[in-house]
Amino acid sequence: MTAPLYGLVLAGGHSKRMGQDKAALEYSGRSQLERAFGLLEKLVTRTFVSVRPDQAQDPLRARFPQIVDMPGDTEGPAAGIRAAQLAHPAAAWLVLACDLPYLDMATLQQLIARRDPARLATAFRSSHDGLPEPLCAIYEPAAADTLQEFLATGRNCPRKLLINSDTLLLDQPTHKALDNVNTPQELAAARADAGSGTGASRELRVQYFALLREQAGRRDETVATRAATPRELYAELAGRYRFTLTPEHLKVAVNAEFSDWSRPLNAGDSVVFIPPVAGG
Amino acid sequence: MSRFRFSHTPLDPAALRAELVDTHCGGFTAFEGWVRDHNEGQQVTHLEYEAFEALGVREGEQIVADACQRFGVTQALCVHRLGDLQLRESAVWVGVAAAHRDEAFKACRYIIDEVKHRVPIWKKEHYVSGDSGWVNCERCATHAQDHAGHDHGHSHG
């Protein structure tokens, strides 16, 4: 018999790289946590939010049915998954990170429709490296024992658990569906894509040099974008062209003058991102 | 006279030196950067220089002007090559003329050091192995996998 499917939104992270609580980040006026919970509760029997013990009273999280990590348990998503499995051992769990701004209903519906209860788990293949995405995946009840054994050996990465288990891997319906957001740069790009940026779209000129020129495959282009600052623009372009340099490595020039990364950009501005220089 | 410029053709040190000749100056020094056949253990076959010229000229002019003021030199010029360069070619030329040698040496050193660090010029090395790489760019580049690969595994929601 197929186990009932429950939903678990992971909101117990430390958000170290973001520098602010990721669950509370808003797109179009709704927090990531509310958004993820809202998607999931339409598709499963019961839905819970996974939190660390010290987060249970947090106003954002207190509104939702919670499953609290066991005090002193392992760190990270594995602790949340284990707590859920112990609380409702007969359920299969659709585990979902709360920081997936591109995730939509169709992606979750596909995961559920193609679920194979005879396997240990059903997951999407990462569009970046082909490995399982553990935080938008269905864990069958039998996965509880497997996770227990896995944790007992000192490992706690759910991705490795899926790699080493009988996991059905599915292709994502869209390339970015499961891209997550860990840094302010990625957040800016996601907000620009969500159409909730503060400004309207306008055209900017971008010139590329050296490594960036090769990776973009062009010397210059006109970009229609909502990016408000060079930092947001770089995040957007880095996503598009998979630039390997990060802003810490770069300087930026606007209209042929060195500029601040947070300078407001105006229609018609000409922007150049400057890789590490090597004259002489 | 512009004190910093780019050249898409080979540099002619004698002609550049002639631009600086000045009867007030008792000392002249020049520095040339050449294309070398090795870098960091790799055998280099040739180089490719590229610049953001509009900003580069402005930044270079500022460096040379600062050097003149700081060290009290009378004449200074820096020219940087762009495009494909073969071994032994001159990639950059700095010349300084001053009343005395000490300020000429100091200003010359200052200009080449600052140009290397501040002017938006990029160098691509081509190696005997057939590989190539942008100097200072390749090692600090992150790998694409770092982005999506393991982030999910260690960030709890």
**Residue A59: burial class (beta carbons within 10 Å; 0-12, 13-18, 19+):** exposed
Q: What is the mean pLDDT of residues B20-39?
A: 95
- Taking residues B105-128, what's their average pLDDT? 97
Q: How far apart are CA B77 and CA B20, in angstroms?
A: 8
Q: Would the pTM count as exceeding 0.80?
A: no
pLDDT of A152 above 50 = yes
State yes or no: pLDDT of A112 exceeds 90.
yes
Does the structural domain A184-274 have CATH classification 2.40.30.30? no
Compute the nearest-CA separation of B87 from chain A (Å). 14
Residue A143's pLDDT band (cuts 50, 70, 90): very high
Inter-chain contact B148–A180, Cβ cutoff 8 Å?
Answer: yes
Tell me the per-residue pLDDT of B42-67, one tens digit each, with 9 for 90 and over. Answer: 999 999 999 999 999 999 999 999 99
Spans of all domains in chain A:
5-170, 184-274
Please tell me which of the candidates B33, B121, B145 has its beta carbon nearest to residue A277: B121
Name the residue of chain A whose CA is nearest to B91's CA.
Answer: A280
Interface contact B137-A276, CB threshold 8 A? yes
A157 with B156: Cβ contact below 8 A: no
Burial of A170 (0-12, 13-18, 19+ CB in 10 A): buried
Lowest average pLDDT, out of A12-21, A117-126, B140-149, goes to B140-149
> What is the C-alpha separation between A116 and A130, in angstroms, rounded?
19
Quick check: A63 pLDDT over 50?
A: yes
Say if CB A223 and CB A204 are below 8 A apart.
Answer: yes
Chain B CB within 8 Å of residue A247 CB: no
Walk across the sheet containing B4-7 and list its strands. B4-7, B75-81, B90-98, B27-34
For residue B107, give both structure tokens: 């200003």
**Chain A contacts of B150, Cβ < 8 Å?**
157, 159
Confidence bin at A173 (pLDDT 50/70/90): confident
pLDDT for B150 equals: 35
Strand pairing of A167-170 and B27-34? unpaired
pLDDT digit string, tens, across residues A220-274: 999 988 899 999 999 999 989 999 999 999 999 999 999 999 999 998 999 999 9
Give me the pLDDT at residue B157, please.
34
pLDDT at position A191 is 74
Residue at A232: amino acid letter: E
Token look-up 């293949």 returns: A125
Which residues are registered as beta bridge partners of B97? B28, B75
ipTM here:
0.86
pLDDT of residue B154: 33
With CB atoms and an 8 Å threshold, state whether B157 touches A135.
Answer: yes
Nearest Cβ partner for A276 among B92, B136, B156: B136
Facing residue for B121 by CB, picked from A157, A182, A279: A279
pLDDT at B143 > cutoff 50: no
Query: What is the tens place of the pLDDT at every residue in B72-85?
Result: 998 999 999 999 99
Band of pLDDT at residue A15, cut at 50, 70 and 90: confident
Report the C-alpha gap between A241 and A216 in whole angstroms: 5
Mean pLDDT of chain A: 90
| Residue B140 confidence (pLDDT) above 50 | yes
In the CATH scheme, what architecture does the domain B4-154 have? Alpha-Beta Complex (3.90)
Would you call A211 and B141 a contact, using CB atoms and an 8 Å cutoff?
Answer: yes
Correct CATH for A5-170 of 3.40.710.10, 3.90.550.10, 3.30.70.330, 3.40.50.2300:
3.90.550.10
At A214 the pLDDT is 96
Between A22 and A37, the higher pLDDT residue: A37
Domain locations along chain B? 4-154
Shortest Cα distance, chain A CAs vs residue B8, angstroms:
14
